[in-house]
Amino acid sequence: MQKSIRQFHYINEQHFPLIQGIGIGQGSINYHWDASLRKEQLIVLQVTLKGQGFIQVGEKTFSLTQNKAFLAKIPGNFRYFGEDWHFLFIEFSESMIQWLDTEVTIVELSEVFIEMLREFIADNKTRELTVVQNAKMAFSLFLDIKEEIQKEIQYHYNAEKIQAAKEYIDEYYFEDINLDFLSEKYEISKYKLIRQFELAYKFSPIYYLKRVRIFHSLSLLWEDEAVEIVAKKVGFSTGNYFSKVFKKNMGISPSEYKNKKTRYY
pLDDT in tens, 204-262: 999 999 999 999 999 898 887 899 999 999 999 999 999 999 999 899 999 888 887 65
Same domain, 147 and 179: no
The Cα 90–Cα 7 span in angstroms is: 10
pLDDT 10s digits, 147-160: 998 888 877 778 88
In this prediction, residue 261 carries a pLDDT of 63
Closest alpha carbon to 86 in 122, 51, 115, 121? 51
Same domain, 71 and 18: yes
Beta bridge pairs of residue 87:
25, 48
Q: 119 pLDDT exceeds 70?
A: yes
Number of domains the chain contains? 2
In this prediction, residue 265 carries a pLDDT of 45
Last-in-domain residue among 96, 121, 154: 154
181 within some domain: yes
Same domain, 226 and 134: no
145 within some domain: yes
Residues 6 or more apart whose Cβ sits within 8 Å of residue 37: 75
Last-in-domain residue among 96, 122, 154: 154
- Contact in structure between 169 and 212 (CB atoms under 8 Å): yes
Residue 216: count of CB within 10 angstroms of its CB: 16
Same domain, 115 and 235: no
Same domain, 8 and 47: yes
- Contact in structure between 213 and 235 (CB atoms under 8 Å): yes
Range of the domain at 185: 173-265
In this prediction, residue 143 carries a pLDDT of 92
In this prediction, residue 63 carries a pLDDT of 96
pLDDT 10s digits, 34-88: 999 998 899 999 999 999 999 999 899 999 999 999 999 999 999 999 999 999 9
Same domain, 136 and 38: yes
